[in-house]
Structure 1
Amino acid sequence: MPGVSAAPTSPGAPQGSTRELLTLAGPLMLSNLAYTAVGFTDTLLMGRLGVVEVGAVGFANICLLTLVLLFRGSLNTASTFVARALGAGDAAGVRRWASVFLGSALVGVPLALVGPLLLDGLFALLRPEPGITAVARTYTHIRVWEIPVLLLGSAALSVMVGLGNTRTPMRLAWLVVVVNAALAVLFIFGLGWGVAGAAWAAVIAVTLQNGLALGLLGHLHGPRFGPFRLARPTRGELGSLARVSLPAGVTELADVSAFTAFQGVLSRLGPTELAASQIALQLASLGFLPAFALASATGSLLSRALGAGRPEVATRIGWRGTGLAAAFMGVLGVLFLTLPRPLIGLFSRSPEVLAVGTSVLAVMAAYQILDGVAIVLGGALGGAGDTRFRLIVTLTGAWLVMVLGASWLAPRYGVTGAWGAALAFITLAAVAYVLRFASGRWRSVRL
């Protein structure tokens, strides 16, 4: 990549301070809080329709994420390439990589066209209860139409993060909250569209957000780095994408598809178990979504430090981000242990859902700190371009430990047995990432 060996005095070089990390991560945390608010809104509204709708829409969202994540995960590495170029003071590299990733995002068009067939195949593979399948199918067949603009917007937002602009993504994320909530209430209850109304509200909100992201990228950063165009990668750039971006996308796909299969295991336990797990996940997102924000900020700053030739600063950034995430999620774990029924009761008053949800939160409380460590160090390794190691950990842990473990434990120990398998996977990932980051092998990875 041009400019990687630039002097460490590059103006794009970070200092590695906690304040710098939090300044970048803060707006991303608020962005992810917005996504949590969208999930909260949908869960609350579906709770007014019924227990089946709560579980089915949550399940449908996981299936949609599985469909797009190979491509979105790959596109999100735009921040790594752009940040490395920025740290090296290579404005032409910033412009070129941004254009390459925007051009690659056009894969969303054919994906949307075949999406309904792929989703139906996924439902047939996972075999949830017929009532859950019917609701999930209605929801997902509408939301596939947002995929083209979603992927273009994802590339644009990732470029912004690589450039250190996290405030614009934050504002756009909260725009989604407002638009989605207003339209969902109107469509679901005002027009009586039910689950289909929730889907159309999401399509409109997501399309607005990502369309604006694409326009604002050129408006805000074009004068310095642009013009940004839809470009085809060269053979050398394809090699870089294959080494770094493709493993990142496969990792995200393997992770979420494993979680989709895990959800399939839960769905076969019954609507109550699935609804309780979806509610517990919404609560857990208060911790892991901010941790993902810290992971993104850590990876971006770490990549800039490597581009500026400052590996010692990159190391400091990685450990500091990890410590912040572990502390934050530890507090959430305490709340899960001390206030489980009031938290579950925000979404459902069903005695069965309250009982099952309390047991799920108890297991989730046990892995909050480990989850924070795994998320941020995984993001740090991704920022360094060490994406193959993450892929190995995910394939080994998510599928062999979590999915196969849950398939064996769920019929014997119910929902807590299934979540115990998830706890084992998180523990494995955290230990593996700590050892890898401490080894320093990621410092020598080339983009």
Structure 2
Amino acid sequence: MSEPAPSRSSAPQGSTRELLRLAGPLMLSNLAYTAVGFTDTLLMGRLGVVEVGAVGFASLCLLTLVLLFRGSLNTASTFAARALGAGDRAGVGRWASVFLGCALVGVPLALLGPALVDGLFALLRPDPNITAVARTYAHIRVLEIPLVLLGTVALSVMVGLGNTRTPMLLAWLVVVVNALLAVLFIFGLGWGVAGAAWAAVAAVGLQNALAVALLWRLHGAAYGPFRLARPTRSELGRLVRVSVPVGFTELAEVGAFTVFQGVISRLGPTELAASQIANQLASLGFLPAFALASATGSLLSRALGAGRPDIATRIGWRGTALAAGLMGVLGALFLLMPHALLGLFNRSPEVLALGTTVLAIMAAYQILDGVAIVLGGALGGAGDTRFRLIVTLTGAWLVMVLGAVWLAPRYGVTGAWGSALVFIAFAAVAYAFRFASGRWTKLRL
């Protein structure tokens, strides 16, 4: 079923209800993605401490390989939302087609994937036991990259058009399919870590293939036809100015975190497992924050397309306040019940002790992280993407990574995660000052 194109007067109002209506399904989508990670971590916990750390480490390395492209392609929502706010139906279809065409970069990336993964492992030099397990997992999962990039565009365009329900349903499909196949492959067929990888490939591939098909079915009549299109010189210039910095920002941030985890992995399997489990728990805080960031960026971009910077400003601050409040609750849970949370994954006394320390540090930065995530998303929705790149390069690499390299050998995981706390505080303050300046309201896509 298709939908009619909106008129130019259909600008968002910036109400809390409107923001939550768009963000709500995205929160459930993020919960689904976290549930996939929880499932894999729980199942790996039944195999051993090395498997828990190795699969988490391999997943980060894979994410690092695709983030430049996936992050750039995710800005399809910004362009679609800006065209929607301006009442430009043809513009929505054109930008969707351009981004779908760019997503074909996933084919050569998948072919080069195994060699790139091996090169990344050689560079990071984790514990040899971790490397052996992580390599098996990563070499299988590179096969999903082409569909992931096409699906990224389809899902991003849907969010830009205000359709967050379909991405939510597809995300939960992944949870169910991945869980069923993982249990079958890992334990039923005895494939171990390779079984977890094949289950993920099947589930993620199905999700993204359906996303592309549903984009055509649900929105093709109103905004299509959607094709695999090459960008014109003018469009390419806009992509380089707005989209590419987002890809580099996400690559820089997750790449920094990958190196950060690599530093921790050199401390030993127990330290890596404790950090990985704590990070899985912290991802619960990312559910509302990243959902609100996506919703805030989409509504803000639509408001700017309709010529209403006042509404865009209200949307940005309101989304930030909501995220800070929700993540503050999670921080309190980390302080009040760390052993109960960590014990869901592993009850090793050493893992529990180290994980409790990591959770205490994470509790300290939950509110700041909510501010940084949502205001970063708001600036991205406005097209102010180069500033985000500068903040990430400065904070993630100079503060977090170099700080961890110096502190981890001296103070263990406590020192490493302390450097992450300083980085997040720096990003929150920088984004708050930038958004308050209002310079982003004058940017054009």
Which category of TM-score, normalised to the shorter sequence, fits these structures?
over 0.9
Give me the whole-angstrom Cα distance separating, in 2, the residues matched to 1:442 and 1:17.
21
> How far did 1:289 drift?
2.7
Partner residue, 2:39? 41
Partner residue, 2:320? 322
The question of whether the paired residues in 2 share the 8 Å contact of 1:9 and 1:308 is answered with: no
Post-superposition CA distance 1:418-441 (Å, at most 9, x none)? 000000000000000000000000
The question of whether the paired residues in 1 share the 8 Å contact of 2:271 and 2:351 is answered with: yes
Which of 102, 105, 114 in structure 1 is aligned with 2:103? Answer: 105
Partner residue, 2:271? 273
**Match of 1:95, as an amino acid?**
G
> What SS does the corresponding residue of 1:228 show, helix, strand or coil?
coil
Post-superposition CA distance 1:133-159 (Å, at most 9, x none)? 000000000000000000000000000
Give me the whole-angstrom Cα distance separating, in 2, the residues matched to 1:245 and 1:337.
38
Give me the whole-angstrom Cα distance separating, in 2, the residues matched to 1:343 and 1:153.
33
Partner residue, 2:148? 150
Give me the whole-angstrom Cα distance separating, in 2, the residues matched to 1:160 and 1:308.
19
Give me the whole-angstrom Cα distance separating, in 2, the residues matched to 1:405 and 1:445.
34
Partner residue, 2:58? 60
The question of whether the paired residues in 1 share the 8 Å contact of 2:249 and 2:388 is answered with: yes
Give me the whole-angstrom Cα distance separating, in 1, the residues matched to 2:204 and 2:254.
20
Partner residue, 2:3? none
Instruction: Please give the residue correspondences for 1:1-16 in structure 2 after superposition, counting only pairs within 5 Å.
Output: 10-16=8-14
In the alignment, structure 1 segments of 5+ residues that lack a partner are 1-7
Give me the whole-angstrom Cα distance separating, in 2, the residues matched to 1:12 and 1:436.
28
> How far did 1:13 drift?
1.0
> How far did 1:9 drift?
7.6
Give me the whole-angstrom Cα distance separating, in 2, the residues matched to 1:351 and 1:12.
57
Give me the whole-angstrom Cα distance separating, in 2, the residues matched to 1:92 and 1:79.
15
**Match of 1:423, as an amino acid?**
L
Partner residue, 2:352? 354
**Match of 1:229, as an amino acid?**
R
Post-superposition CA distance 1:80-108 (Å, at most 9, x none)? 00000000000010000000000000000
> How far did 1:223 drift?
1.1
TM-score by structure 1 length? 0.98
Partner residue, 1:343? 341
Post-superposition CA distance 1:391-411 (Å, at most 9, x none)? 000000000000000000001
> How far did 1:282 drift?
0.7
Which of 84, 87, 102 in structure 2 is aligned with 1:86? Answer: 84
Instruction: Please give the residue correspondences for 1:115-130 in structure 2 after superposition, counting only pairs within 5 Å.
Output: 115-130=113-128
**Match of 1:227, as an amino acid?**
P
Post-superposition CA distance 1:23-52 (Å, at most 9, x none)? 000000000000010000000000000000
**Match of 2:89, as an amino acid?**
A
Which of 406, 417, 420 in structure 2 is aligned with 1:419? Answer: 417
Give me the whole-angstrom Cα distance separating, in 2, the residues matched to 1:282 and 1:250.
24
Partner residue, 1:298? 296
Partner residue, 1:369? 367
1:73 aligns with 2:78: no
Give me the whole-angstrom Cα distance separating, in 2, the residues matched to 1:348 and 1:9.
54
Give me the whole-angstrom Cα distance separating, in 1, the residues matched to 2:443 and 2:67.
24
Partner residue, 2:441? 443
**Match of 2:343, as an amino acid?**
G
Instruction: Please give the residue correspondences for 1:142-181 in structure 2 after superposition, counting only pairs within 5 Å.
Output: 142-181=140-179
Give me the whole-angstrom Cα distance separating, in 2, the residues matched to 1:269 and 1:296.
36
> How far did 1:12 drift?
3.4
> What SS does the corresponding residue of 2:230 show, helix, strand or coil?
coil
Which of 184, 190, 193 in structure 2 is aligned with 1:192? Answer: 190
Partner residue, 1:243? 241
Give me the whole-angstrom Cα distance separating, in 2, the residues matched to 1:67 and 1:311.
36
Partner residue, 1:23? 21
Count of residue pairs the alignment pairs up: 440
Give me the whole-angstrom Cα distance separating, in 1, the residues matched to 2:56 and 2:394.
25
1:401 aligns with 2:396: no
Post-superposition CA distance 1:267-321 (Å, at most 9, x none)? 0011001000110011101101321110000000000000000000000000000
After superposition, the CA RMSD in angstroms is 0.8
> What SS does the corresponding residue of 1:367 show, helix, strand or coil?
helix
Runs of 4+ in 1 over 2 A off after TM superposition: none
Give me the whole-angstrom Cα distance separating, in 1, the residues matched to 2:425 and 2:105.
35
Partner residue, 1:286? 284
Give me the whole-angstrom Cα distance separating, in 2, the residues matched to 1:283 and 1:129.
24
Give me the whole-angstrom Cα distance separating, in 2, the residues matched to 1:45 and 1:175.
19
> What SS does the corresponding residue of 1:325 show, helix, strand or coil?
helix
Post-superposition CA distance 1:213-235 (Å, at most 9, x none)? 00000000011111100000000
Which of 381, 384, 395 in structure 2 is aligned with 1:383? Answer: 381
TM-score by structure 2 length? 0.98
> How far did 1:11 drift?
3.7
Give me the whole-angstrom Cα distance separating, in 2, the residues matched to 1:244 and 1:134.
39
The question of whether the paired residues in 1 share the 8 Å contact of 2:160 and 2:298 is answered with: yes
Partner residue, 1:5? none
> How far did 1:10 drift?
1.7
The question of whether the paired residues in 2 share the 8 Å contact of 1:301 and 1:314 is answered with: yes
Post-superposition CA distance 1:157-181 (Å, at most 9, x none)? 0000000000000000000000000
**Match of 1:362, as an amino acid?**
A
The question of whether the paired residues in 1 share the 8 Å contact of 2:61 and 2:120 is answered with: yes
> What SS does the corresponding residue of 2:347 show, helix, strand or coil?
coil
The question of whether the paired residues in 2 share the 8 Å contact of 1:12 and 1:304 is answered with: no
